[in-house]
A and B are shown apart, each in its own frame.
Chain A
Amino acid sequence: MAISEVKTVTASGIPLLLDDIDTDRIIPARFLRCVSFDGLGEHAFEDDRLQDASHPFNQPQFQNAGILLAGRNFGCGSSREHAPQSLMRWGIKAIVAESFAEIFFGNCGSLGIPAVRASRADLEKLASLISADPSTQMTLDLQQMKLRAGKMEVSVSMPDSAREALVTGQWDYLGRLLSAADQISAHSAKVPYLNGFQSV
């Protein structure tokens, strides 16, 4: 897995300002019958898209979008990493939402997808802007923590640890965890249930 710095994302946007969008809706469970994440992109929001021809993911003007605008508690429910994987493979490179569910947020971080928060009022203005002109290029700047679109500039936020990992290219956590192998081994000997409860 290549490690790369994610400092800015520039792309057109796609608005989906609904609240409590769960990961079953992002990628229905039947598509989890797989041993790799390949091919999940085409099934993103499949059931919602089938029931709603006007779903943004069905609209031709948004097919090249890379920044998803979402509502409150985006990605709630199941821990399936298949959800951000399917969005990423559909073409989403960053998500701006009013708020995120915790496991989904962590999974985005693991994949190098910035998931940042913005106010509902700002999200509604941005959604209006890109609905009026879907070709509008947006830039998410993780160093300034700003999202710029046309003449608009809004503040965005995310926890420092997640932001640092992206901008320094350390979002591939496995290597950093492995670097503490000796400490892990030493620490495990101190945990009661790993030493026959001798240390209690």
Chain B
Amino acid sequence: MVKNTLMPDQRNLFNKVWDLHTVRDLPGGQTQLLIGLHLIHEVTSPQAFEILRDRGLKVAFPQRTVATVDHIVPTASQARPFQDSLAEQMMSAIEKNCRDFGVTLLDLKDKRQGIVHVVGPEQGLTQPGMTIVCGDSHTSTHGAFGSIAIGIGTSNVAEVLATQTMFLNRPKVRRVVVNGELAPGVYAKDVILFIIQKLGVQGGVGYAYEFAGSTFDAMSMEERMTVCNMSIEGGARCGYINPDEKTVEYLRGRPFAPKGAEFERAASWWLTLASGDDAVFDDEVVFTADEIEPTVTWGITPAQSVGISQPLPKVAEIAPDEQKLIREALEFMGLQEGQPIRGTKIDVAFIGSCTNSRISDLREAARIAEGHHVAPHVRAIVVPGSQLVRDQAMSEGLHTIFENAGFEWREAGCSMCLAMNPDKLKGREVCASSSNRNFKGRQGSPTGRTLLMSPAMVAAAAIEGVVTDIREFAAMA
């Protein structure tokens, strides 16, 4: 527990928002924290609703709870009933639970359906200064708006449904500063992969990350979401970026955002939440944008990555207590120490997931793909993050560009990021993926292999059939 003994203007955004939501502090050091927005989906909520039924409890604040479906939905055909009877059972369960407990459900018939971390911002549900939870670790995405957004387990989902609160220990706050302009071909995805490579997958445990500096200031809201999304891959349960005029303008006019004079009051308040010049942090690390190049993971944790021009590490050069893990990763991936990652043959290309399935991601990937064709041996799919992203992309003709280039154009869902649906790797296939996790078996085949990279890099890899430096690809094109 970190006691707040700071003067008001020394508080960073995290501390201001935490204090605002503190219902009570317990003697053991925990805070009972009020939760402003609870997002739920079909995988981690059914058991929580059963707990409420068992105890005869209601949803305390049904208007602060919004549900959608994403993890298990097929992306090729969404006709009901699903072929997978277990998935169909989960769909029926969330429909019944939302009906019984008075929770709004954005289901497949609703144009607002999509990946929960795409839908929240898109609908204007996600706002600065909120506490946001969801039974999904990538809830950190919503921190892009200057909120405290954290992933929780199913018991916590039940607690928040029943009380709109949960117990948490106040984490420390580390400011992760990146200054400077990103070089062409270097994206938000590369920035967060670089940060995780430098700070490690465990480096953020016990911390919230504030991402600050001119590199993040220059980013669009969608790029900021990509960065915050992967905070958890660096061990930080929460990552955030201070709200600014871009945040305000993104939210103006969104369905769940305040309207009229209320919006102006809200916007003024949102801007006051940002960490000021005197704000105090528990730790700070500083990087510069010119250190970052297109980055690709080669191993089985998101920190096992290299810049595209760099070779894989050599085992002997790694700290002794890390060597076992490096060897395990090299063996699983079928790669050699010291080899380049560029030129690694891929079998599958996946553009999608809560990290990189928004319209700006699809526009950039389409720009790369236009006029080219996916390599004959590669299976490539593009999965928009929401039905509205899909509609927008189609209104811009992006689907035609992708289809002409040999990509499959799919319906909205989590798809091959975690393969709880029909989209899966087979055998030892290697997938160039715009998603967030390269864990063993993550993409649905126990022996399948994942290389994480930006959507543009995935598109280039799909076309070349091998991991490609987007900067050279763009120069040739």
A residues engaging B (CB < 8 A)?
1, 18-20, 22, 24-25, 28-30, 32-37, 47-48, 50-51, 72-73, 76-82, 99-103, 106-107, 110-111, 120, 159-161, 164-165, 173-174, 176-178, 180-181, 183-184, 187-188, 190-194, 196-198, 200
**Could you tell me if B439 and A77 are in contact, using CB atoms closer than 8 angstroms?**
yes
Which single member of A19, A99, A181 contacts B324 (CB below 8 Å)? Answer: A19
**Could you tell me if B21 and A191 are in contact, using CB atoms closer than 8 angstroms?**
yes
Top 4 A-B pairs, shortest CB-CB distance = A110-B155, A47-B446, A81-B153, A161-B28
**Could you tell me if B165 and A180 are in contact, using CB atoms closer than 8 angstroms?**
yes
**Which A residues are CB-close (under 8 A) to B437?**
22, 24, 77-78
Binds A, one of B3-11, B200-208, B216-224: B200-208
Complex Cα–Cα for A1 and B90 (A): 23
**Could you tell me if B321 and A184 are in contact, using CB atoms closer than 8 angstroms?**
no
**Could you tell me if B93 and A178 are in contact, using CB atoms closer than 8 angstroms?**
no
What's the nearest-Cβ distance from chain B to residue A173, in Å? Answer: 6
Which single member of A18, A103, A174 contacts B328 (CB below 8 Å)? Answer: A18
**Which A residues are CB-close (under 8 A) to B250?**
none
B121-149 at interface with A (beta carbon < 8 Å): 127, 129-130, 135-137, 139
What's the nearest-Cβ distance from chain B to residue A74, in Å? Answer: 10
**Which A residues are CB-close (under 8 A) to B269?**
192, 197, 200
Complex Cα–Cα for A102 and B207 (A): 10
B167 interface residue (CB < 8 Å to A):
yes
B164 interface residue (CB < 8 Å to A):
yes
**Could you tell me if A79 and B151 are in contact, using CB atoms closer than 8 angstroms?**
yes
Residue of B nearest to A102 (CB): B237
B89 interface residue (CB < 8 Å to A):
yes
**Could you tell me if A29 and B420 are in contact, using CB atoms closer than 8 angstroms?**
yes
Complex Cα–Cα for A34 and B88 (A): 10
**Which B residues are CB-close (under 8 A) to A181?**
60, 163
**Could you tell me if B163 and A110 are in contact, using CB atoms closer than 8 angstroms?**
no
**Could you tell me if A80 and B44 are in contact, using CB atoms closer than 8 angstroms?**
yes
A51 with B446, Cβ < 8 A, contacts A29-B420, A178-B163 known = yes
Which single member of A20, A33, A103, A190 contacts B237 (CB below 8 Å)? Answer: A103
**Which A residues are CB-close (under 8 A) to B258?**
193, 196-197
**Could you tell me if A184 and B90 are in contact, using CB atoms closer than 8 angstroms?**
no
**Could you tell me if B235 and A18 are in contact, using CB atoms closer than 8 angstroms?**
no
Complex Cα–Cα for A190 and B21 (A): 9
**Which B residues are CB-close (under 8 A) to A188?**
34, 61, 164
A79 with B152, Cβ < 8 A, contacts A25-B441, A48-B440 known = yes
Residue of A nearest to B332 (CB): A51
Complex Cα–Cα for A160 and B61 (A): 31
Return 25 A-B CB contacts under 8 Å, by A number: A22-B301, A22-B437, A24-B439, A25-B441, A29-B419, A29-B442, A33-B72, A76-B301, A78-B137, A79-B137, A79-B139, A81-B153, A103-B137, A159-B29, A161-B1, A165-B28, A173-B155, A173-B159, A174-B155, A174-B159, A183-B23, A193-B130, A194-B36, A194-B64, A198-B265
B8-30 at interface with A (beta carbon < 8 Å): 20-21, 23-24, 26, 28-30
**Which B residues are CB-close (under 8 A) to A33?**
72, 84, 86-87, 90, 420
**Could you tell me if B166 and A77 are in contact, using CB atoms closer than 8 angstroms?**
no
B215 interface residue (CB < 8 Å to A):
no
**Which A residues are CB-close (under 8 A) to B322?**
19
**Could you tell me if B44 and A81 are in contact, using CB atoms closer than 8 angstroms?**
yes
**Which B residues are CB-close (under 8 A) to A111?**
155
Which single member of A51, A76, A193 contacts B127 (CB below 8 Å)? Answer: A193
Encode contact with A along B161-191: 1 for CB under 8 Å, 0 otherwise: 0111111010000000000000000000000
What's the nearest-Cβ distance from chain A to residue B30, in Å? Answer: 5
**Could you tell me if B28 and A47 are in contact, using CB atoms closer than 8 angstroms?**
no
What's the nearest-Cβ distance from chain A to residue B271, in Å? Answer: 11
B156 interface residue (CB < 8 Å to A):
yes
Complex Cα–Cα for A138 and B137 (A): 33
A161 with B440, Cβ < 8 A, contacts A50-B446, A174-B163, A180-B23 known = no
Complex Cα–Cα for A22 and B89 (A): 27
**Could you tell me if B20 and A191 are in contact, using CB atoms closer than 8 angstroms?**
yes
Q: How many B residues have CB within 8 A of the partner chain?
A: 86
Binds A, one of B45-53, B368-376, B379-387, B397-405: B45-53
Which single member of B71, B156, B169, B419 contacts A161 (CB below 8 Å)? Answer: B169
Residue of B nearest to A24 (CB): B439
What's the nearest-Cβ distance from chain B to residue A47, in Å? Answer: 4
B444 interface residue (CB < 8 Å to A):
yes
Most buried by B among A48, A80, A99, A164: A80
Complex Cα–Cα for A36 and B166 (A): 22
Complex Cα–Cα for A120 and B321 (A): 10
What's the nearest-Cβ distance from chain B to residue A19, in Å? Answer: 5
Most buried by A among B1, B418, B444: B418
**Could you tell me if B166 and A177 are in contact, using CB atoms closer than 8 angstroms?**
yes
**Could you tell me if B129 and A103 are in contact, using CB atoms closer than 8 angstroms?**
no
Complex Cα–Cα for A86 and B44 (A): 14
**Could you tell me if B34 and A184 are in contact, using CB atoms closer than 8 angstroms?**
yes
What's the nearest-Cβ distance from chain B to residue A107, in Å? Answer: 4
Residue of A nearest to B133 (CB): A79
What's the nearest-Cβ distance from chain B to residue A83, in Å? Answer: 9
**Which B residues are CB-close (under 8 A) to A180?**
23-24, 32, 163, 165
**Could you tell me if B34 and A177 are in contact, using CB atoms closer than 8 angstroms?**
no
**Which A residues are CB-close (under 8 A) to B26?**
161
**Could you tell me if B29 and A161 are in contact, using CB atoms closer than 8 angstroms?**
yes
B54-90 at interface with A (beta carbon < 8 Å): 54-55, 57, 60-61, 64, 71-72, 84, 86-87, 89-90
**Which A residues are CB-close (under 8 A) to B47?**
35-37, 81
**Could you tell me if A177 and B163 are in contact, using CB atoms closer than 8 angstroms?**
yes
Complex Cα–Cα for A180 and B328 (A): 48
**Could you tell me if A200 and B265 are in contact, using CB atoms closer than 8 angstroms?**
yes
Which single member of B34, B84, B153 contacts A103 (CB below 8 Å)? Answer: B153
A76 with B237, Cβ < 8 A, contacts A28-B446, A110-B153, A177-B162 known = no
**Could you tell me if B60 and A184 are in contact, using CB atoms closer than 8 angstroms?**
yes
A77 with B137, Cβ < 8 A, contacts A103-B153, A192-B266 known = yes
Which single member of A48, A73, A198 contacts B235 (CB below 8 Å)? Answer: A73
